[in-house]
Structure 1
Amino acid sequence: MGGLSIWHWLIVLAIVILVFGTKKLTSGARDLGNAVNEFKKGMNGDSDKPQARLGEDKSAASAEQKQHDNAAQ
Structure 2
Amino acid sequence: MGSMSIWHWLIVLVVVIAVFGTKKLRNVGGDLGAAVKGFKDGMRDGGTGSTETPPQQVANANKATDPNTVDVDAKHRS
Q: Above 0.5 in TM-score?
A: yes
TM-score, normalisation: structure 2: 0.57
- 2:26 maps to which residue? 26
More helix as a share of residues: 1
Q: 1:2 deviation in Å?
A: 1.2
- 2:60 maps to which residue? none
Number of residue equivalences: 49
5+ unaligned residues in a row in structure 2: which ranges? 53-78
TM-score, normalisation: structure 1: 0.61
The RMSD of aligned alpha carbons is: 1.7
Percent identity (aligned): 59
Q: What is the one-letter code of the residue matched to 1:27?
A: N
C-alpha distance in 1 between matches for 2:24 and 2:8: 22
Query: Segments of 4+ in structure 1 off by > 4 A?
Result: none
5+ unaligned residues in a row in structure 1: which ranges? 55-73
In the TM superposition, what whole-angstrom CA distance separates every residue of 1:10-45 from its partner, at most 9, and x where no partner exists?
000000000000000000000000000000000001
Which is higher, the Rg of structure 1 or of structure 2? 1
